Each structure stands twice: as structure tokens, then as C-alpha cells.
Amino acid sequence: MTRPFYGLTIALTAILLLFLGWWNLFAWSVIPIQAQDVWLSLTHFDSQSISHRIVQDLRLPRLLTAMLVGACLATAGTIMQGLTRNPLAAPSVLGINAGAALGMALVSTLPVLYGASSTSLAAMIGGGVAWLLVMLLGSSWRIGGNERGRLVLAGVAISALCAALTKAVVIMEEDQAAGVLTWLAGSLADARWQTWQHYWPFALAGLFGALLLTPSLNLLQLGEEHARNLGVNLLRSKLFGSFLVLLLVGTTISAVGSIGFIGLIVPHMARLLVGQDFRIFLPVAMLLGATLVTLADTLSRAISYPMETPAGAILALIGAPFFIYLVRKRTL
């Protein structure tokens, strides 16, 4: 493929993202919002108009968060697939989502741990422990020990374990349960400016870091031996990559809850569009992830209008068949 083609893909995705974002701001609102109100609320804000207030206070932070969530999860999935050279790797498949959720559940329900750390730090630690366990059990840290199926099954088992523990913790501390259950489902409905403010600095830092990692990810695809010969510091790349994944996933989950399968699907879509070079397909993956989550968030208001369906539930519905398709296609 030629360079202009990459540019075209990126430009088209960006245009699609902008269009969907604009649509997201007014579509399926319980209180009707006109399309032109969206524009007016941005240029000539009128604090008396309810629709302006909704766009400014509710829709805009929600849209921005959705975009950032998509970019972060897609990036995390890309890094994980690059590090493990496993097409099935993704935060939700390999137990990071469930681990992060457990971490948050522990911090927000157990009195002993109250205020011990912020929820996003707890999510990072929980996700990190789960990821470490999966990698150890799936024998992926060992050189050459790269058994794809085993890694995935280890992830599934760790997920099941974390999910059971989370449920147990939530049920035992009933007064906190409602709040915890909401973000377990992974919904953007509660994203406000406050969420956004806590979220964007870490998320952007993570995304920037991921871009720096792309050259070594490219070399890693040749196999660990070759990558080492070509001067990649394997341990440092893996540690840095894992840290980025945890940062991205941990902050995302603490902001909007556990949203699955974006990290699995989007890297494959991006690779299909622009090929194997991480330096190019990572940005495309970020844009695609943002587009997909924005779309899912719009649908989350549409599906059982006027009720909200968590975007995470919609994405899981798309993601699981895709996962099955991948398992079928690859030889494990």
C-alpha cells in the first residue's frame, strides 16, 4: 500500500468519527434536542436553554469520554497483541478487566481499604495482578513459551475467579452494591466533566507512550530471538508495554467501568485496513476504537429508548461472535 492510501484511511476514519460524534450529541435524547442546537450551544451558549445545557453539561463530556475510552482500549489491545504475538489477546480476554473491577470493588466496599488508594490506582493494581498471573500461568514470559490457547484459557479462568470474588464482595457489602454494579456493566451514561478531568491526563499520557513503543513492537513481531538480535531490550519493552496497558485500562475502567472486546476487535480491523506496521496501524486503531465506542454509546440510548442500555453490554454482544470467529480462523 502507498502512503497516500494510509492518509486517506486516516482522514476517512476521522471524518466518520466527527460525524458520529456530532450525531451522538443530539440523537435519541429523552428531552428532544435539535441538530442545530448542538452547534448553537457550542458557539452561542445560552444558559437558559435546556437543550444547550444538556449538550454542554451531559452530552459533550460523555462524547469526549467515549472517544477517549475507545482510543485507550484499542491501544491497550494493540499493545497486548503485539507483546504476546497472540491474535486473541485483549484486556477483557486476558483478565485485566475483571482484575481491575475486583481491585475497585475491594477498595470501594471494604472498610479496611477505604481511602487506601484512589479507585484508578486500585483498578491498575488489580488489573496488574491479574495480568501477571495470566502471563505466568499461560507461560508467556518464558522465551519461546508462547502457547496461544493456554494463555487465553488462563485469562478466562482468572476472569471467572475475579468476577466471582467481585460479586461476593459486592453482595456482602450491600449498601455499596448499587454503585459498584453500575460500573461493572460498563456504561458511559454517568460520564461528566469531572470524570473527564480525572481521566484525560492519564489517558493521553498512555496513548503517547504507546506511540513511542511502536518501533519495538514491530521488531517483536519477528520473534523474540530476532528482536533481541536487533537490539530490542525485551524485558524493558515488555515491562513498559505492560505498564502502558495497565495505565490505559485501569484509568478507563475507573472512569466508565468494564467495557470489553474493543481491545480485541479494533486491532484486527485496523490491521485489515492498513497492514502490519504498528507505527501506522496504532493511530488508525485509536481512531477506529473511538468511532466504535461513540457508535455503541449512541446505540446505548437507542436500543431501549427511553431507557439506557450500557454500551459495554452492546459491545460484548458484537465482540463475542468476533472472538469465536478468530478462534475458528486461527490454528491453536
Partner 1 sequence: MTAQRFFPIAVITLLLLALANLMFGAVSLSVEEVWSGLYASSENHFTIYEYRLPRIFLAILVGAGLALSGALVQGVIRNPLASPDVLGVSHGAGLAAVCYMTFFSGASTRWLPEVALTGGILAALVLWYLCGARSSAIKLAITGVALAALWASCIDFLMLTKPLEINNALLWLTGSLWGRGWTQLQALLPWFALIPLALGLSKYLNLLDLGDDSAISLGARPPYLRLLALAIAVALTAACVSICGPIGFLGLVAPHLTRKLVGGRHQPLLPATMLTGACLLLAADLAARTLDPPIELPAGILTAIIGAPYFLWLLLRMK
Which residues bind to partner 1, rule: CB under 8 A?
Answer: 88, 137, 149-150, 152-154, 156-158, 160-161, 163-165, 167-168, 171-172, 174, 185, 303-304, 307, 309-310, 313-314, 316-317, 319-321, 323-324, 327-328, 332
- Provide the minimum distance between the beta carbon of 148 and partner 1 in the complex, in angstroms, as a whole number: 9
- Provide the minimum distance between the beta carbon of 127 and partner 1 in the complex, in angstroms, as a whole number: 17
Q: Which is nearer to partner 1, 178 or 235 (CB)?
A: 178
- Provide the minimum distance between the beta carbon of 185 and partner 1 in the complex, in angstroms, as a whole number: 7
What is the C-alpha to C-alpha distance for residues 205 and 250, in angstroms, rounded to an integer? 13
Contact predicate 104/269, CB 8 Å: no
Q: Which is nearer to partner 1, 31 or 174 (CB)?
A: 174
- Provide the minimum distance between the beta carbon of 84 and partner 1 in the complex, in angstroms, as a whole number: 15
With CA atoms as reference, report the closest residue to 107 among 122, 96, 129, 128: 122
- Provide the minimum distance between the beta carbon of 104 and partner 1 in the complex, in angstroms, as a whole number: 18
Torsion of CA 193, 250, 166, 84, to 10 degrees: 150
- Provide the minimum distance between the beta carbon of 75 and partner 1 in the complex, in angstroms, as a whole number: 23
- Provide the minimum distance between the beta carbon of 235 and partner 1 in the complex, in angstroms, as a whole number: 23
Q: Which is nearer to partner 1, 21 or 267 (CB)?
A: 267
Q: Which is nearer to partner 1, 186 or 206 (CB)?
A: 186
Query: Would you say the C-alpha torsion 248, 252, 258, 259 has a positive or negative sign?
Result: negative
Long-range contacts of 163-170 (CB under 8 A, 24+ apart): 163/98, 163/101, 163/102, 165/102, 165/105, 166/98, 166/101, 166/102, 166/105, 169/102, 169/105, 169/106, 169/109, 169/110, 170/105, 170/109
Q: Which is nearer to partner 1, 232 or 311 (CB)?
A: 311
Residues contacting 286, CB < 8 A, separation 6+: 70, 71, 74, 75, 207
Q: Which is nearer to partner 1, 109 or 120 (CB)?
A: 109
Q: Which is nearer to partner 1, 2 or 304 (CB)?
A: 304
Q: Residue 261 gets which letter from DSSP?
A: S
What is the C-alpha to C-alpha distance for residues 52 and 58, in angstroms, rounded to an integer? 10
Contact predicate 257/199, CB 8 Å: no
> For residue 33, is it left (φ>0), alpha (ψ between -120 and 50) or beta?
beta
